[in-house]
Structures are given as structure tokens and as C-alpha cells.
Amino acid sequence: MSLRKALLAATVLSLPVAAQAQPVSGLYIGVGAGANWLQESNIAATGPLAEELRLRGVNPRGKVGFETGWVVVGSLGWGFGNGLRAEVEGNYRENDVNKIRGFNGITTSRVQGTSRSYGVMGNVFYDLDLAQWGVPSYVQPYLGAGVGYVWREFDDVGLTFPGAGGARIRDSGTDGRFAYQGIAGLAFPLTRLGVPGLTLTAEYRFLGTLEHSIDTTSSGGSFTVGRGGTRSENYNHSAMLGLRYAFNQPRPAPAPIAAPMPAAAPAPARTYLVFFDFDRADLTDRARQIIAEAAQAVSSTGTTRIEVAGHADRSGTPQYNQRLSMRRAEAVAAELTRRGVPRSAMSIQAFGESRPLVPTADGVREPQNRRVEIVLR
């Protein structure tokens, strides 16, 4: 491969990378969804309910665990063209209760309920440009952090104390708190699909809030307190896939069209002249030597076209000289064939006295006109 072709290929291959590595500039939207793991939380009864639990010798503190749930987010943001982005995000998470334990080791049963979180966050991101370290930007890492406000809802989160006459405690309510989050992700630009600005994202998010306080009620058994409260933590770990679309992303520059290489000049034709005696078509020793040189050149130069043309001088009639020049051409072609040149590769013609090498008057015997020309192209 020539140096010019190698440089052109390298330029073409680098174009998609350069296009994909462009920082987000202007307005964009994003959506994402995935799995949410709500971290086991410390919970504590408060108010009159906590007092009654203490009177009964029950520690009002415990832990609540959750099943794997789900999360969905939507965002509207702005890219500043230098790797920095800012956005407003809305989010929703939901996890079912798995277990509640603690409370001085008292076993609970009939655990149920659902925890939901939803809120609004303001986030700041920085997209890392790996190209500055020589890494092709088919993938672009990014880091982010955000703050906002999240409401936590306990929907009929309940447990039963068998040792208290089957008393049941039930949390149902919503409480909003300050929230914060950290984000780490990978972006995979999908420019090659023909949609500039479309990016697939894969990310991890940690979302935490200040401690929530949820209304609590008790009923049944020997409990006498009807209302109270429960404090609980809210720490979420989320793994998500998403799509981001930047409205302003420029289309990648079209691949350059290579300028056509100048056609190679055709190799000059090689011509061998075989001369004949007057009114003869048989080959002399010198003629055979010249034909042998021509046959050797055919094999060494990769010739693809061989012209064998017979000629005559102007002594005699044109009709006779035409036939004589053909016999001379056939004699040369036969010798070439004997020396390994395929006859199918030859074009055999006769021109009689019509193309003299040396122009003469009619009837003049001119040795240079009694010839066969072997032309290798």
C-alpha cells in the first residue's frame, strides 16, 4: 500500500471517532430505567408509640429490608460544549418490603407494604474525553452529582407482633426531605446509526435523603396507642440503561472522497522487425534470432497483446504482395508458437504494399519494406 493510500485510510477511519467524541452542546433530553436496590434501613418508632413499646419492654428500633425494585428517570439538560452539562431530573423508585426485624429480637410476621420515592433533582455532569489520551472515543465515561428534594411514601408498610396479642403496626404516609446523589456512567454515541446526538447510556446512581418521618398507627392486640411516627433512612443504589438525545449535535463530516489516482502511462510498445529476401516468405537465421528475442520478451514483460503484421515492397501486383505479406506473417506466427507464445494471444494481419517503411515508386524493390512487424503491447 502506498503512503498516500495509508494516510487516506487512517483519515477515513478516524472520522467516526472524532464525530462521536464531540461534547454535548445545547439542549438535550434523556430517559433511563433499571433496577433499584433500596438499602436495608434503620427504623425507629417515635412519639406515643415508642413510649408504649418501651413500657412493654420492646426496643422501638429495628431494620426494614426490601425486595429489588425498579427506577425510572427523565431529564432535561444543557451541554456547554466543553464537557460540562447541567440538567433537571425527575425520578421515581419503588420497592416492596421484604422483612422487618429487630425490636429487641421479637419475631414479626405478616410483613407487607411498599416503599416509593419520587422527586426532582438538579444535576451537574462532566464528560471525560478519552481522545486526549489517545483512546478512541467509542465510549465516553462521565461523572455527576446532584441535589434536590425527594418524597418518600410508605404504602401500608405493616408488621404484626405475635407476642403482643397480634397487635399490628402500620406505616402509611408521605414525607419529603433534602436529597443528594452521585452518578457514574458510560455513554456510547450512536452516530453510526445515522442519528447524530443519539447516545446510549449505562450508569450507576446512589441516591440518599435525610431521615424521613412517616405517620404510624397501631391496632389490635393489647396496644392502646392509636397514632405515632416512624423515622427511617432512604439509601438507594440504581443500575440503569438509558438514551440521551442532544438536539444541537452537528452531523459528522462526510468521509472525504479520494481523488482519483492518475492513470498509469501505458508501457511503450515493443516492436521487432523481421526482414525477408525478395519474393520469399521463409525465415533466415537472423529472422529466427529476432523472433526468439520477441518470444522471450512476451514471457518476461507480461505482454497481453501481440500484433504480427506482414508487409511487402512495391515490386509486383498489389494482390500478389497482399498474399505474400500474409505468408510472411504466418511464418513468423508459427515460429512464435514454436517458442511458446500462444497463437490465441496473437493478432495476425497482412498489409501488402500499403504501409511501406520506406516510401518508393511502384515496382521498386526495397529490402526494408519486405518485413513482418511484431508489436508487443
Q: What is the pLDDT of residue 258?
A: 63
CB–CB of 202/163 below 8 Å? no
Quick one: 159 exposed, middle or buried, by C-beta within 10 A (0-12, 13-18, 19+)?
buried
Quick one: 176 exposed, middle or buried, by C-beta within 10 A (0-12, 13-18, 19+)?
middle
pTM above 0.85, yes or no: no
Per-residue pLDDT tens digits for 312-333: 999 989 999 999 999 999 999 9
Q: What is the pLDDT of residue 4?
A: 47
Per-residue pLDDT tens digits for 187-224: 998 877 777 889 999 999 999 999 888 776 655 555 55
Crossing angle of the two packed helices 318-338 and 285-301, in degrees rounded to 10: 60
For 270-376, CATH gives 3.30.1330.60
For 16-246, CATH gives 2.40.160.20
* Residue 253 pLDDT exceeds 70: no
Cα 282 to the center of its chain, rounded Å: 72
Higher pLDDT, 165 or 210: 210
**CA–CA separation, 53 and 154 (whole Å):** 21
- Output the nine-digit C-alpha cell for 308: 504480427
In angstroms, what CA-CA distances link 316 with 28, 324, 354? Answer: 94, 10, 13
Residue 274 confidence class, pLDDT cut points 50, 70, 90: very high
CB–CB of 238/207 below 8 Å? yes
Q: What is the pLDDT of residue 19?
A: 42
286: left (phi over 0), alpha (psi -120 to 50) or beta: alpha
What value does the mean pLDDT of the chain take? 82
> Domain spans of the chain?
16-246, 270-376
